[in-house]
């Protein structure tokens, strides 16, 4: 992955900066988490179900609140992220709350050198695979670290959503992974006025790309679900509905915003 190193390095620096802001933001509400609140949303709680006694690997875990929320539900958890600031924060939060969790700082594409365990569940969620240029190697990792009969589960922002410009006025990017997407980023979704200015680099991945790489690694797709809302207020021009979820103003329920996949390793 040497061809992508400069993009990974730039994105890692950006996420180090973001973590420093996110851990103190109202968006993440770390204080609420410390008091026992979960950071998980109803989509994944309902669809993944009971994790008690299961070994769970969380890919691209940021600073570990979702990881530790699964631990509170009885899972034995390991979280992976490439941001040193995020993993340091995750370890601090684990120590402070007394929630047992293992965290590893690593680029996913290098994880095979640091993790040989097999897991009952491999989990990933919300705004993560866009940072990966190559889903073939991502699927290799999932298959390698998942026990036979184990579950892979993901909840992710829909690729149709990523086609639009930041204000959802027009289609700007390809649906398929045909380009490096470069954005001049200011602030962060958790604090639009944060003193962060940097370039970020990402890649869009169609549903067919995601599903086919999983199938090719011996995973059986149990379901694919699509949702016309976001559980997070993390985009421009969103309005909250009576159900507590967010939709794009003027595009309410017209386009998918989130999808989820559950698959079993054969």
* The pLDDT of residue 2: 77
103 token code pair: 């965290």
Closest CA to 109 of 80, 86, 130, 88: 80
- Domain count across the chain: 1
Residue 53 contacts by C-beta under 8 Å, 6 or more apart in sequence? 74, 75, 76
- CA separation (Å) from 259 to 128, 196, 227, 254, 264? 13, 29, 6, 14, 17
If one counts every other C-beta atom within 10 angstroms of the C-beta of residue 84, the result is 13
Question: β-strand 55-58 against 181-186: which pairing, if any?
Answer: unpaired
Say yes or no to pLDDT of 264 above 90. Answer: yes
For the residues 74-87, what does the mean pLDDT come to? Answer: 98
In angstroms, rounded to a whole number, what is the distance separating the alpha carbons of residues 209 and 205? 6
In angstroms, rounded to a whole number, what is the distance separating the alpha carbons of residues 152 and 129? 14
Residue 87: domain span: 2-265
Say yes or no to pLDDT of 123 above 90. Answer: yes
In angstroms, rounded to a whole number, what is the distance separating the alpha carbons of residues 90 and 104? 10
89-105 pLDDT, tens per residue? 999 999 999 999 999 99
159-202 pLDDT, tens per residue? 999 999 999 999 999 999 999 999 999 999 999 999 999 999 99
In angstroms, rounded to a whole number, what is the distance separating the alpha carbons of residues 155 and 115? 23
Q: CATH number of the domain that 257 lies in? A: 3.40.50.150
135-151 pLDDT, tens per residue? 999 999 999 999 999 99
């Amino acid at each position: 992955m040497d061809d992508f190193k400069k993009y990974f390095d730039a994105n890692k620096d950006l996420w180090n900066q973001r973590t420093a802001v996110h851990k103190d933001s109202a968006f993440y509400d770390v204080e609420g988490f410390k008091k026992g609140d979960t950071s998980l949303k109803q989509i994944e709680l309902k669809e993944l179900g009971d994790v008690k006694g299961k070994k769970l690997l969380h890919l691209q875990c940021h600073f570990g609140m979702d990881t530790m929320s699964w631990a509170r539900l009885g899972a034995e958890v390991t979280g992976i992220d490439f941001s040193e600031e995020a993993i340091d924060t995750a370890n601090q939060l684990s120590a402070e709350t007394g929630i047992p969790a293992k965290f590893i700082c690593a680029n996913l594409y290098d994880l095979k050198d640091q993790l040989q365990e097999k897991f009952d569940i491999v989990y990933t969620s919300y705004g993560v695979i866009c940072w990966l240029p190559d889903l073939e190697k991502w699927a290799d990792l999932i298959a390698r670290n998942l026990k036979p009969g184990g579950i892979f589960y993901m909840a992710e922002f829909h690729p149709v959503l990523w086609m639009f410009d930041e204000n959802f006025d027009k289609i700007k990017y390809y649906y398929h992974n045909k380009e490096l997407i470069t954005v001049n980023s200011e602030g962060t979704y958790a604090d639009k006025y944060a003193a962060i200015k940097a370039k970020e680099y990402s890649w869009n991945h169609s549903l067919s790309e995601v599903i086919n790489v999983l199938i090719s690694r011996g995973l059986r797709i149990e379901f694919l679900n699509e949702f016309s809302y976001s559980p997070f207020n993390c985009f421009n021009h969103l309005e909250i509905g009576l159900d507590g979820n967010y939709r794009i103003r003027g595009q309410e329920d017209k386009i998918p915003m989130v999808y989820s996949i559950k698959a079993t390793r054969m």
